[in-house]
Amino acid sequence: MKQYWLMKSEPSDVSVDDVLAMRNQTVAWYGVRNYQARNYMRDQMKVGDGVLFYHSSCAEPGVIGLAEVVSTPYPDHTQFDKKSKYYDAKATEENPRWMLVDVKVLKKTRLLSLPELREQPELEEMVILKRGNRLSITPVTAAEWKCVGKLLK
């Protein structure tokens, strides 16, 4: 069964436009260093799952694109790269700690801003909108996905 996710990226790091400029409009979702977010990618994501591409830590945070999961999980190579800020000394090739999936942007949308998301009664329970939530990857229900789709039409 198809599942849905919201994935945060800082546009100063990787924006929707950056991904659209990449080969196959696909990016390896590197840099996640939170176990819960990793577990979503490693254990629950399936090829074809829907993804809301969200810009965070920027002037106008919000949903800015529709994407999908296009790979099974595999090790995040940045954990082995000593020059990367995502380097993890405790991770080895034999025993990788951080896994990721490839995400393909299907289309850039208008900015569905955080305040606008908060206005929607149907999205009241959305994980991303919960107080204190900091997870960079959160599940989205089918109803929430549908609601967001409607708002982006």
d(CA 92, CA 25): 29
Q: For DNA, how many residues bind (rule: CB under 7 A)?
A: 18
92 forms part of the interface with DNA (CB under 7 A): no
SS3 call for 24: helix
Stretch that binds DNA, among 15-23, 55-63, 75-83, 141-149 (CB under 7 A): 55-63
Structural contact between residues 70 and 58, judged by C-beta atoms closer than 8 angstroms: no
Nearer to DNA by Cβ, of 63 and 147: the residue is 63
Nearer to DNA by Cβ, of 24 and 39: the residue is 39
Structural contact between residues 110 and 63, judged by C-beta atoms closer than 8 angstroms: no
91 forms part of the interface with DNA (CB under 7 A): no
Nearer to DNA by Cβ, of 10 and 102: the residue is 10
Which parts of 11-30 interact with DNA (CB under 7 A)? none
Q: How far is the CB of 37 from DNA (least distance, A)?
A: 9
CA 7 and chain centroid, separation:
2
Amino acid identity, position 45? M
N-term to C-term CA, the chain: 24
104 forms part of the interface with DNA (CB under 7 A): no
36 forms part of the interface with DNA (CB under 7 A): yes
Structural contact between residues 87 and 79, judged by C-beta atoms closer than 8 angstroms: yes
Task: Summarize as ranges the residues that interact with DNA (CB under 7 A).
Answer: 8, 10, 33-36, 56-58, 61, 114-115, 131-136
